[in-house]
Every structure is written in C-alpha cells, then in structure tokens.
Copies of this chain bind each other. A is one copy, B any other.
C-alpha cells in the first residue's frame, strides 16, 4: 500500500488527524530526563535520555493518532549519538504502528537528493520513514530523484509550500502570482503519478494554519495532496484555522502539535500533573477538538 492509502486508513482508524511532533528540546524535557539539558552530561547519555523520553511519548500516541513527526534538528544537535537515538525512535514508532514523517526538510540536486531519499525512505532498515518533509527551493529536478524513490518504495513526501512562521511571506509570497502558487501547482503535478486508491496522492504539502485564507486557496490548487498543517497550538492557530486544509469527511490532512503535547506539563492549565498525564490530557483535548470540528 502506498503512503496515501496508509495515511488515509490511519486517519480513518484513529478518527482524528492529529500528528504529534517529536521535538526533543533539551531544555524542556521533564524529570527524569532533564539531565539531557546539562552540557556536563556525556553526549551519549543525553541522547539516551531523549530516546527514553520519546519512547514514552510514542507509547502514549500509539493507537490514538495516525502519525508522529520526529524533528531531525534536535537529534543532529547530539551528533552521532543523536543519529542513533533518531534511528531507535523511528523504529520504535513504526513498531508501535504509527506512521513516521521524518521532518528533515532536505533538498539538494540530483545524486545528492537521491542519497537523501535513500537515507530516509529506502536504505534505513527498521528506521525507514513513511514520508519526509522536503524543501523545494532548488526546483523540480531536485525533487524528481525523491519521486522516483517514492514510486519504488511506496513512501511519501511533504513539500514545503507555505510555512507557519511569521516571516515566511518574504520569499514564499513573492511575485504575481505568488511563488506559493507555482510551488503548489508543481506539487499537484509531481503527485499525479503517485495517487492511491483513496484518491489522493503520496506527494503532500506543508501549509501553515497561521494563514487560513491561503490554506483554503492552496487546497483548491492542490486538490489531491495530503496536507501537513503546522501552526496549531503553541504557534497560535486554532482548530477553525486548519479546516480549509481538509478534504471532505475530515480526510487528506494532518495537523501537527509538538510543544503543545510534549511539554503540556509546562502549561498553567495542567499545573500539578505529571508530564505524562499533562501530555495525555493535551492530546485528548486536541483529538476531541478535531473530532468535533470535523464531524460537521
């Protein structure tokens, strides 16, 4: 089954589109993992603490949400030890039945793009990702080697189209029509030969919830792309802001929350709870919000 169909099935089975971002900010890890933030802790130990924390998070997510999204940067910060933690976390999430979207935002030319595809979607053994995020700045020929690997392996891609950060407009909205429209058209075209039985493609788009009108407009241009929608929660967008990204029946989109779930214990509304209770409650709250909003 290709990525589009695996995703569709997972969203239907879980009954919600929640994507939990695995962003191990060292300084935010709760007890008993907080020694990861201490530079005096040996690096291998810091990486092990990150791994142990995320394995508990995965345990909390399994069977409840369709997918998790480990963020490469926080693993890379711990060098080769972090890379090992990445492999173990990805493998553990897959064993737990979760789809894994590797948030690596890679993009490079020709044979280098191919090496990235092999690294994350083809040659990684148990640590293979179901999909990765891709930066399109280098153009179509930088994406083609990734598409080829997706055709061969059934993997998926999420191309950055409109990101959720406040400063994203300067380049992404440049020109008339804006650059995002040109990228969006390419995403739809790249996805044509990678459609699943479900009707949408394995080639998706990252479009931030922090630009709701744009989200709905880009959904028109990319009628067959699964959306990965960041910006909900800690970044300020609410459920209503994400709705323009969905296809009928609440399909075709995942909404990400990272800090809002993992570090819920830091939020006043969960004061006094253990980190895991707080994360669990925050996740339930998110699931409920989306189940309600998408039922209408």
Instruction: Identify the A interface with B (CB < 8 A).
Output: 23, 25, 39, 71, 73-74, 76-77, 79-80, 82-84, 86-87, 105-113, 115-116, 118-120, 123-124, 127, 135-142, 160, 163-172, 174-176, 179, 182-183, 186
Q: Which listed residue (B79, B136, B164) contacts A127, Cβ 8 A?
A: B79
- Evaluate contact between A137 and B139: CB separation under 8 angstroms: no
- Evaluate contact between A170 and B186: CB separation under 8 angstroms: yes
- Evaluate contact between A171 and B166: CB separation under 8 angstroms: no
Residues of B within 8 A of A83 (CB): 79-80, 82-84
Closest beta carbon of chain B to A104's beta carbon, Å: 9
Residues of B within 8 A of A73 (CB): 106, 108, 112-113, 115-116, 119
- Evaluate contact between A108 and B111: CB separation under 8 angstroms: no
- Evaluate contact between B168 and A23: CB separation under 8 angstroms: no
The prevalent SS among residues of A at the interface is helix
Residues of B within 8 A of A168 (CB): 138-139, 141-142
- Evaluate contact between A141 and B167: CB separation under 8 angstroms: yes
- Copies of this protein in the complex: 2
- Evaluate contact between B167 and A140: CB separation under 8 angstroms: yes
Bound: A87/B174 CA distance, A: 38
List 12 extra interface pairs beyond A76-B116, A138-B168, CB under 8 A.
A23-B112, A25-B111, A71-B108, A77-B123, A79-B127, A83-B83, A139-B165, A141-B168, A171-B179, A171-B183, A174-B174, A175-B175
Supposing A163-B138, A167-B141 touch, asked if A115 and B76 sit within 8 A by C-beta, the answer is yes
Closest beta carbon of chain B to A291's beta carbon, Å: 28
- Evaluate contact between A109 and B163: CB separation under 8 angstroms: yes
- Evaluate contact between B80 and A139: CB separation under 8 angstroms: no
Residues of B within 8 A of A183 (CB): 171
Closest beta carbon of chain B to A264's beta carbon, Å: 17
Residues of B within 8 A of A176 (CB): 175
Residue of B nearest to A110 (CB): B165
- Evaluate contact between A87 and B79: CB separation under 8 angstroms: yes
Bound: A160/B138 CA distance, A: 9
- Evaluate contact between A119 and B174: CB separation under 8 angstroms: no
Bound: A183/B142 CA distance, A: 19
Residues of B within 8 A of A116 (CB): 73, 76-77
Closest beta carbon of chain B to A133's beta carbon, Å: 9
Ordered by A's residue number, 16 sampled pairs between the chains whose C-beta atoms are within 8 Å are A73-B106, A73-B112, A73-B115, A73-B119, A77-B115, A77-B119, A83-B83, A110-B165, A137-B137, A138-B163, A139-B170, A140-B167, A141-B166, A141-B167, A141-B168, A174-B175
